[in-house]
Amino acid sequence: MSDSQILYGIRKNIAYIFFNRIEAMNAINRDMLEALDKALDRAEEEDLARAVIITGKGDKAFSAGADIRKLNNSMPVEVREAAKLAIKINKKIEDFKKPVIAAINGTAMGGGLEIAEACLIRIAVKGARMGHPEVKLGTIAGWGGTTRLPRLIGRARAEEMLLTGRSITAEEALNMGLVHKVVEPKELIDEAIGVTWEILEAGPIAVRMTLEAIRKGLGSSVEGSLAFGAEYMARTSMTEDFKEGTKAFLEKRKPNFQGK
């Protein structure tokens, strides 16, 4: 699949989605959101794609955020509808049944950072800057930033970023827990692939149930979350993968999971 603003392809069981507006720092407009939505649907439907890596084309930006020139000329109803679409897409990424990794190859601001925040894992290059400058434009982080950022880095730090509009370095983001790793630019995709395969080589049913337990648990009480963990552990014990994994451990060999 090749859209002028979104590029999509699969290589060795990983689907790659590229933001492709290099001349605009990969700023996101309505057409780009719709193309991203279609690319995610394709990645979810294709059995060959077992994980997704989202990144930007070029060496300057993951995405500078929403297209400000377009926003400036938009009616309030258009802003609302675009935000609703972005929220739907980011929720799709957050709830995706396959791992979604953000390879942050440069600047990630506003809506671009909100897409990264919805991903399972975020890896950034040295020199990347991240932030929510929306208040400096007279608006707010309405694509999910006010919801996800506090959950990722804590309320106090999130409030500072969201209320001041200050951008942070990749190293600051790492210290806050906003990104998982910071690497040299030439190492970014290899690092993202490496982390992805660490997940894919684990028991696929166990990975899926772990994600379900985490996601359901976050919306539940501590007691409810603990119950989900115990229930899903019991469910995995009924699978062939569980028998294979425990047997391989005892035999000191690599397990051969079949997802059954």
Would the pLDDT of 162 be above 90?
yes
Is residue 260 domain-resident? no
Residues 196 and 213 in one domain: no
Please give the average per-residue pLDDT across 176-182, as a whole number: 97
Q: Catalytic: 78?
A: no
Residues 42 and 154 in one domain: yes
Please give the average per-residue pLDDT across 152-180, as a whole number: 97
Would the pLDDT of 178 be above 70?
yes
CATH code at 239?
Answer: 1.10.12
Is residue 218 domain-resident? yes
**Residue 159 CA to its chain's centroid (Å):** 21
- Residue 35 token pair: 């193309």
Q: What is the pLDDT of residue 3?
A: 57
Amino acid at site 207: V
Residues 212 and 107 in one domain: no
Is residue 169 domain-resident? yes
Residues 175 and 244 in one domain: no
Instruction: List, for residues 7-29, the tens digit of each pLDDT value.
Output: 999 999 999 999 999 999 999 99
Q: Catalytic: 160?
A: no
**Residue 162 CA to its chain's centroid (Å):** 19
Residues 106 and 161 in one domain: yes
Q: How many structural domains is the chain composed of? A: 2
Task: Provide the domain limits for residue 24.
Answer: 6-200
Residues 238 and 141 in one domain: no
Residues 195 and 217 in one domain: no
Domain end call among 159, 179, 200: 200
Residues 59 and 160 in one domain: yes
pLDDT category, 73, cuts 50, 70, 90? confident
Would the pLDDT of 226 be above 70?
yes
Phi and psi dihedrals of 50, rounded to 5? -100, -10
Is residue 63 domain-resident? yes
Residues 192 and 209 in one domain: no
Q: What is the pLDDT of residue 218?
A: 82
Q: Which of 117, 95, 116 is nearest to 104 (CA)?
A: 116
Is residue 70 domain-resident? yes
Residue with the two structure tokens 């919801």: 147
Report the C-alpha gap between 142 and 52 in whole angstroms. 24
CATH code at 189?
Answer: 3.90.226.10
Q: Which of 44, 45, 46, 114 is catalytic?
A: 114
Residues 82 and 191 in one domain: yes
Residues 85 and 134 in one domain: yes
**Is the CB of residue 20 less than 8 Å from the CB of residue 63?**
no
- Residue 116 token pair: 């990264």
Is residue 1 domain-resident? no
Q: Which of 117, 134, 172, 191 is catalytic?
A: 134
Is residue 113 domain-resident? yes
Domain end call among 200, 220, 239: 200
Residues 152 and 126 in one domain: yes
Please give the average per-residue pLDDT across 126-154, as a whole number: 95
Is residue 259 domain-resident? no
Residue 76 burial by Cβ neighbours in a 10 Å radius (0-12, 13-18, 19+):
exposed
